[in-house]
Amino acid sequence: MTAEQILFLLTGALILGSALMVVATRKLLHAALWLVAALFGVAILYAILQASFLAVVQVVVYIGAIAILFIFAVMLTRREMRDQGQQTRTNWWIAALLGLLILAGLVFLILAVPGADRLPAALPEGLDTVRALGNALVSPEAYVLPFEVASVLLLAALVGAVYIASVGKKD
């Protein structure tokens, strides 16, 4: 057991515990706050993987924006289903069974695939991951198409969200 393995296991426990609270807690606002804890755990994983840019983006975008949007949405619809009332469907055990089945299948596959126990590849000498990412995103032989398509997706989301949310803006 190296220090890094212990850190990974602690982070994994944080992620999975928080994720379980997200799906299990009755209060929706608490579920959104548990999501923040799970997202922070994923940011620590990115740091362990030395994907520093992803770690920062995870904190800034996921925790700083997406989780806040969830909390806003909870507050905008909060008179409905506050604390009282059934929060899960009556046939939730089928969902639990399906989740366990998929988990078992995936774990079986992961352990069966050769090379799943490989150790991380050596980082190339002097590799600046943010610089390499910038090159990859705009160079024509790499990912310039997903990059431009992402802007179209963001445009569609912007127009759609503004239109849907401001129809009949009275209250």
Instruction: Kindly state whether residue 47 participates in binding other proteins, applying the rule CB under 8 A.
Output: yes
At residue 25, what are phi and psi to the nearest 5 degrees?
-70, 150
Tokens 């999975």 locate to 16
Instruction: Kindly state whether residue 164 participates in binding other proteins, applying the rule CB under 8 A.
Output: yes
In the complex, the smallest distance separating the C-beta of residue 114 from other proteins, rounded to whole angstroms, is 11
Instruction: Kindly state whether residue 145 participates in binding other proteins, applying the rule CB under 8 A.
Output: no
Tokens 């997903």 locate to 146
Instruction: Kindly state whether residue 69 participates in binding other proteins, applying the rule CB under 8 A.
Output: yes
Contacting other proteins within 89-118 (CB under 8 A)? 89, 92, 94-96, 98-100, 102-103, 106-107, 110-111, 115-118
Instruction: Kindly state whether residue 136 participates in binding other proteins, applying the rule CB under 8 A.
Output: yes
In the complex, the smallest distance separating the C-beta of residue 82 from other proteins, rounded to whole angstroms, is 8
Distance CA 16, CA 29 (A): 19
List 10, 30, 141, 146, residue binding other proteins (CB under 8 A) = 146
Q: Which amino acid is at 31?
A: A
Of the candidates 34, 57, 33, 47, the residue with the CA atom closest to the CA atom of residue 4: 47
In the complex, the smallest distance separating the C-beta of residue 5 from other proteins, rounded to whole angstroms, is 6
Instruction: Kindly state whether residue 10 participates in binding other proteins, applying the rule CB under 8 A.
Output: no
List 10, 30, 37, 60, residue binding other proteins (CB under 8 A) = 60
**The pair of three-digit structure tokens given for residue 107, joined into one six-digit string:** 């774990």
Output b/e per residue, 80-104; b: 16+ Cβ within 10 A. Answer: eeeeeeeeeeeeeeeeeeeeeeeee
**Which H or E run contains 65?**
none
* Number of amino acids touching other proteins (CB under 8 A): 114
Instruction: Kindly state whether residue 161 participates in binding other proteins, applying the rule CB under 8 A.
Output: yes
